[in-house]
Amino acid sequence: MRRRWTRMFCGLLMSLAVACDSGGEGSSSSGSGSSSPPAVTTAWSVNTLGTSQVPAYGNSCRFEATNHVAMAGNTDADDSLALVKNGSGYLLDLTLADGAGGYVTFTLELAQGLALRSYRNGTGTAQGAGALASLSGAVQDAALCFESKLAPAESTRGEFSVVVLNSAGDYVSLGGDFDLAAAAVFPGGSTSDDQLVDASALLVDLE
């Protein structure tokens, strides 16, 4: 009799242990997805431009053509971005380096989207080399967005997309995101200044 009760007691303990282990595993696996989600992108084509709706940070600012370039940003702050008001439009000079001799420089003109938050319908030129050589050509579309409204001495996050028609006749896109330091926003100190952003040492993630 004593043996039977001992066996029952041991069985009960074992079943409780299994239940506890099972619950612990569930907690562990549910918390394991801590990596950042990929950027949400909009499909781009000649007939349906990626910036056909007013872009905003995290919404319609990142788009992809049939050919898309994506790579992890290197650890050097070797990228630069300058945004200047030019009459009713805006001029954007954006230079990106991959840390391995590859680079691309965009010279763009954009229209305003959301005031001091997004810029759209970009056109202009692109010159690339190395792993970014396929981005040399005429810019067909571009967008630039900020997480918060640009204000003097206030940091923010930003993202962009560019689509280029290269010499091979391919539409190639590139997008990225970055942190903009407070000193780079309205460096002259006033929102009435034409120079909105001047970031000469920027770290851009091209994924």
151 shares a domain with 103: yes
Question: Do 47 and 10 sit in the same domain of this protein?
Answer: no
Domain count, the chain: 2
Q: Are residues 108 and 175 in the same domain?
A: yes
User: Which domain, by its residues, includes 3?
Assistant: 1-32
Whether residues 16 and 73 fall in one domain: no
Cβ neighbours for 50, distance < 8 A, ≥ 6 positions apart: 42, 43, 44, 60, 63, 64, 141, 143, 161, 163
Both 132 and 79 in one domain: the answer is yes
Same domain membership, residue 89 and residue 118: yes
**Which residues are 77's β-sheet partners?**
none
Gap between the Cα atoms of 175 and 206, Å rounded: 6
Q: For position 40, what pLDDT does the model report?
A: 79
Is 106 part of a structural domain of the chain? yes
Question: Please, what's the b/e burial string for 161-190 (b: 16 or more CB within 10 A of its CB; e: otherwise)?
Answer: bbbbbbeeeebbbbbbbbebeeebbbeeee
Same domain, 91 and 193: yes
Residues 6+ apart with CB under 8 A from 67: 134, 170, 171, 172, 173
Tokens 């239940």, residue? 19
Q: What is the pTM of this model?
A: 0.81
pLDDT tens-place values along the chain, 207 residues long: 444 434 444 444 444 343 333 333 332 222 323 334 557 788 998 887 766 789 999 999 999 999 999 988 788 999 999 999 999 999 999 999 998 999 999 999 999 999 999 999 999 999 999 999 999 999 999 999 999 999 999 999 999 999 999 999 999 999 999 999 999 999 999 999 999 999 999 999 998
- Has residue 37 been placed in a domain? no
